[in-house]
Structure 1
Amino acid sequence: MTDFGTASAAEIASAVSAGRVGAHAVTSTVLERIARLDGRVNSFTDVVSERALARADALDAARARGEALGPLAGVPFAVKNLFDVAGLPTRAGSKINRERAPAERDATLIARLEAADAILVGALNMGEYAYDFTGENLHDGPTRNPHDLGHMSGGSSGGSGGAIAAGLVPLVLGSDTNGSIRVPSALCGCFGLKPTYGRLSRGGTFPFVGSLDHLGPMARSVEDLALAFDAMQGPDPADPVVADRGIEPTAPTVDSGIGGLRVAVAGGYFARSGDPEAFEAVRTLASALGCERTVDIPEAARARASAYLITAAEGATLHLDRLRERGGDFDPAVRDRLIAGAVMPAPFVERAQRFRRWYRAAVLDLFREVDVILAPATPCRAPRLGQKTFVLDGVELPVRANLGIFTQPISFIGLPVVAVPVWPDDGLPLGVQIIAAPWREEVALRVARHLEREGLVRAPVAKLD
């Protein structure tokens, strides 16, 4: 194995564990690829070469001593720069945060991946304070879509999507508050997992909206998502989320097939306000799964509006002092929405939270009758860099706010989702959400793996060389 840019995490781990290749060789090759290609994509903000090579040497020495290596042995990975990385300031895509003291320790999920013998190689570009769907950062520049450098990567985990699609690393971590894993997965043509709210620890990460923030992996195969997810599970006293931890980590069952699973397509809200090809991608996967049922997710438009209100209000509360003292150092597009959240009447937010409880119960009722719901991930393919508006159902709308119209109603109540990439006959990819009931990530992963094996979803590396 010499092309580590296109190899999966599972393939690399197998080769390193068996001694067919050394972790140092993998890491040095990946670092060279980043140095050679990322100037065109702009996915990395920090590369920790010295740390990565030292970790690789330690793994090679352990194997030489006859020690067994972990399930992610020698796998290079990178993280959105809102994760604490020891020795780096946690910038969260902002100008202000890069003045912070360097983090003293790694975020919990970094530590858990390295405990499985993965190797951190750097931190990734993102939308400022994660309030973004485009992948365009005023301070660090935009992450470009590797499949067409004139188009957006999606956000706010744009650097994560760009790094995977460019073949710079096989595994990354992102965050998803309203769609920030699923949107770049769709636009960049890779796989993403937004787990159940609270399933993976947020310890050691910079928050955006405490009641909506999720963390999860992105990769070029479903197996890699499952390997990373399994390695990162478990309770953490540093996690600010209070969630039901009564479910023990389970080995992902991505090879179990889909026999007996009840699949439905989301209709109504999720079947309008998008390009025809976005809905055709859903129909293609539904047909392959033998799905003939459509369900209506009730009040999805109201759920999206409520998510918007809660996002603005909680985000404004978090950043209020920064807005007062350093307002000029924000991206104006972020600052203006946070200011709007700061002056929002409290009854609006209280009503949104009350509605949220009703909506969650109503959607969970659907999962008494189905196991999986399919929906578009974005309303269209990747817009062009700098594009401000697009037309959906004959209405001109802002791109930045509306790329997440299909993701916000789902993360609003913390449902697990696997985003899978569908490639039309030509051009850029589209994404489909595979949505499951809370704590049933393995069901969504099983469906995604089946579709991957059937050749209907795939995550090719962009041709940048």
Structure 2
Amino acid sequence: MTPGPALALAARIQAGETTARAVTETALARIRDRGPAVNAFTALLADRALATAAALDRRIAAGEAVGPLAGLPVAAKNLFDLAGIPTLAGSRIRRTAPPATRDAFLVRRWEAAGAICLGALNMDEFAYGFTTENSHDGPARNPHDMAHPVGRIAGGSSGGSGAAVAAGLVPLSLGTDTNGSIRVPASLNGVWGLKPSYGRLSRHGAFPFVHSLDHVGPFARSVADLAAGYDALQGPDPEDPAQAPQPPAPVLPGLGAGIGGLRIAVLGGWFGRQQSAAARKAVAAVARALGATATVAWDMAEAARAAAFLITSAEGGALHLPTLRTRLEDYEPLIQDRLLAGALLPAAWVSQAQRVRGLARESMRALQRDWDILLAPATPVPATPIGQETLELDGASLPLRPSLGLFTQPISAIGLPVIAAPVPRAEGALPIGVQLIGRPFEEAVLFRAAAALEAAGVCAAPVAPDFAAGAI
């Protein structure tokens, strides 16, 4: 398996062809120079990053073993704790919060593997959105169409995480996914994204949104880099009680295994409607490459999405209710009403939603007895202009923001692992992603298929053209 740009850079640093400090200085300069156009970063930790890089260079010079991500610049959605700065969670309210006293667990895992965290990334406030049109920090902009008069959305809620990787500002980033917040920005920014199984990775040190639905995971520009980033994140954390008792399961060694023997089908029904021609073509291309000729239906997809909506509203509203009572006007205007409505939902509705969620999980389990991987669009459309309010799908006008999660939210509801695979389009057109959906804790199977798609040239995540020169 050919190493991706991140692993190749780490190898050069470890071989002494360059230094961690030189790479870090270059990355910081690029973020200061090219970053404002994308607005992916909300905080730079330059002094910390340079000190970490210098210490790593000393270890390499002394012949010490360093991790597989040695010297790689990374960044984290500003939902993750970074020692020394407040964890904003995209909000105005938390600007006066005390600085975090230590990094989130996943940030510590990456730095233990040799990575160097450069800072925090833009997001939808409190992770409640799909566009990263943040009223406090400004919108994150999709780097694939910088000529658009108002810019295009980077997706959300991890929009800064997807845009930073797509613009070559960092080779790896961290995001979170409650209803699609890794897969939507991965799709719109044309990068690889992983939502692991619910409970696979520790969420400790990431500001919560919906405890029963929150996932965390990485973004990258190649399958090997995504695999290496994911492998480094795995490990038990007693501080996250929701983490499943699963031993680490490295996926990088198995990338070259191919797809022989895998049973792969396309999800139809709910997943075959309400999509653009671009989404339809992307799924068809991936299906052809993987030999997926069957189309199957999951009859509970719409019900699972409705359940996820109710659970999200109720848990999010309950979490924020004390602050809503005193600081309502300081919340992002796009989420004020949703949080208030969620706090007022009857308990019986939420209980019923959890019951439906359980039934949906069981029905999918039955379907997955026959299929190792299921394919579906990641988003119904490519990136839309910033400020657009509606989508026209199947002859109907739908609200844009919730509709970006049409195909991701049902899968989040039942906690399945998903890789968002980027399908590049003709020159000048925008990328879009396809979901590779697996059984719980079978991420390795998804990585085999992703590697095959990349090797066949069907899926790829090049740096956005305007940012290709000097990409990290």
TM-score range (shorter-chain normalised) is: over 0.9
Contact 1:390 1:397 in 2 (8 A): yes
- The letter of the residue matching 1:462 is A
1:2-81 maps to which residues of 2 (within 5 A)?
A: 8-81=5-78
- The letter of the residue matching 2:127 is A
- The letter of the residue matching 1:437 is R
Aligned match of 1:244: 244
Q: Distance in 2 between matches of 1:463 and 1:275?
A: 24
- The letter of the residue matching 1:387 is Q
- The letter of the residue matching 2:231 is D
3-state SS in 2 of match to 1:411: helix
- The letter of the residue matching 1:457 is C
Aligned match of 2:359: 358
Aligned match of 1:124: 121
Deviations 1:148-203 (A, max 9, x none): 13111000000001101110000000000000000000000000000000100001
Contact 1:81 1:125 in 2 (8 A): yes
Aligned match of 2:470: none
Aligned match of 1:4: none
Over aligned residues, Cα RMSD in angstroms? 1.2
Q: For 2:103, which of 101, 106, 122 is the aligned residue? A: 106
Contact 1:37 1:464 in 2 (8 A): no
- Give, in angstroms, the shift of residue 247 of structure 1: 3.4
Taking a change above 3 Å as real, the CA distance of residues 276 and 464 of structure 1, as seen in their structure-2 partners, is closer
3-state SS in 2 of match to 1:217: strand
Q: For 1:140, which of 126, 129, 137 is the aligned residue? A: 137
- Give, in angstroms, the shift of residue 251 of structure 1: 4.1
Q: Distance in 1 between matches of 2:207 and 2:271?
A: 31
Q: Distance in 2 between matches of 1:237 and 1:170?
A: 29
Deviations 1:60-119 (A, max 9, x none): 101111112110010100000010000010000000011100000000000010000000
Q: Distance in 2 between matches of 1:99 and 1:435?
A: 40
- Give, in angstroms, the shift of residue 240 of structure 1: 3.9
3-state SS in 1 of match to 2:184: helix
- Give, in angstroms, the shift of residue 462 of structure 1: 1.4
3-state SS in 1 of match to 2:143: coil
- The letter of the residue matching 1:226 is A
Aligned match of 2:228: 227
Contact 2:279 2:381 in 1 (8 A): yes
Deviating more after overlay: 118-127 vs 342-351: 342-351
- The letter of the residue matching 1:61 is R
Q: Distance in 2 between matches of 1:13 and 1:296?
A: 43
Deviations 1:255-301 (A, max 9, x none): 21111111000000000011122111101110111111111112111
3-state SS in 2 of match to 1:433: strand
- Give, in angstroms, the shift of residue 129 of structure 1: 0.2
Taking a change above 3 Å as real, the CA distance of residues 313 and 44 of structure 1, as seen in their structure-2 partners, is same
3-state SS in 1 of match to 2:144: coil
In structure 2, stretches of 5+ residues that fail to align are: 468-472
Q: Distance in 2 between matches of 1:220 and 1:452?
A: 11
- The letter of the residue matching 2:319 is L
Q: Distance in 1 between matches of 2:56 and 2:236?
A: 26
Contact 2:251 2:447 in 1 (8 A): no
- The letter of the residue matching 1:245 is P
Answer yes or no: is 1:281 the counterpart of 2:278.
no
3-state SS in 2 of match to 1:464: helix
3-state SS in 2 of match to 1:238: coil
Q: Distance in 2 between matches of 1:62 and 1:461?
A: 31
Aligned match of 1:380: 381
Q: What is the identity percentage for the equivalent residue pairs of Structure 1 and Structure 2?
A: 56
- Give, in angstroms, the shift of residue 43 of structure 1: 0.2
- The letter of the residue matching 1:433 is Q
Answer yes or no: is 1:428 the counterpart of 2:425.
no
3-state SS in 2 of match to 1:332: coil
Q: Distance in 1 between matches of 2:318 and 2:443?
A: 32
3-state SS in 2 of match to 1:103: coil
Aligned match of 1:3: none
Contact 1:266 1:297 in 2 (8 A): yes
Q: Distance in 2 between matches of 1:254 and 1:245?
A: 24
Aligned match of 1:167: 168
Answer yes or no: is 1:94 the counterpart of 2:91.
yes
Q: Distance in 2 between matches of 1:463 and 1:50?
A: 30
